C-alpha cells in the first residue's frame, strides 16, 4: 500500500451533462513528481466520498502525467507516497 500518502495533484471533478460516453475516452492528468516517490495511484469517485483505486503508474519526473481510459467522468485523485 501507500505509506505516508499525499495528493500528487488537486482532486479534480470532471463532468458534463451526462458524464457518460458511448466508448471510452482517453484522459491525461498531471501530477507533481516532487511530492511523491516510486509509484502514484489513480483513484476515482462518483460522489467525491467513496473512492476506488483505478490504476498504478511509475513516477517519472520527465513525464509527470497519468493517462487512462474511461467511459464515465467523475472525481479523480492521484495519490502517492510522500517523497
pLDDT at 17: 82
Q: What tens digit of pLDDT does each residue of 17-58 get?
A: 888 889 999 999 999 999 999 999 999 999 999 999 999 999
Three-state secondary structure call for residue 52: strand
pLDDT at 1: 66
First-last CA distance in the chain: 15
State mean pLDDT over 75-83.
94
CB burial of residue 48 (10 Å; 0-12, 13-18, 19+)? exposed
Amino acid at each position: 500500500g501507500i505509506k505516508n500518502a499525499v495528493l500528487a495533484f488537486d482532486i479534480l471533478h470532471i463532468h458534463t451533462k451526462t458524464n457518460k460516453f458511448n466508448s471510452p475516452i482517453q484522459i491525461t492528468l498531471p501530477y507533481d513528481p516532487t511530492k511523491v516517490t516510486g509509484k502514484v495511484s489513480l483513484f476515482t469517485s462518483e460522489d467525491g466520498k467513496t473512492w476506488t483505486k483505478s490504476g498504478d503508474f511509475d513516477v517519472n519526473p520527465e513525464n509527470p502525467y497519468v493517462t487512462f481510459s474511461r467511459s464515465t467522468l467523475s472525481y479523480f485523485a492521484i495519490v502517492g507516497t510522500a517523497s
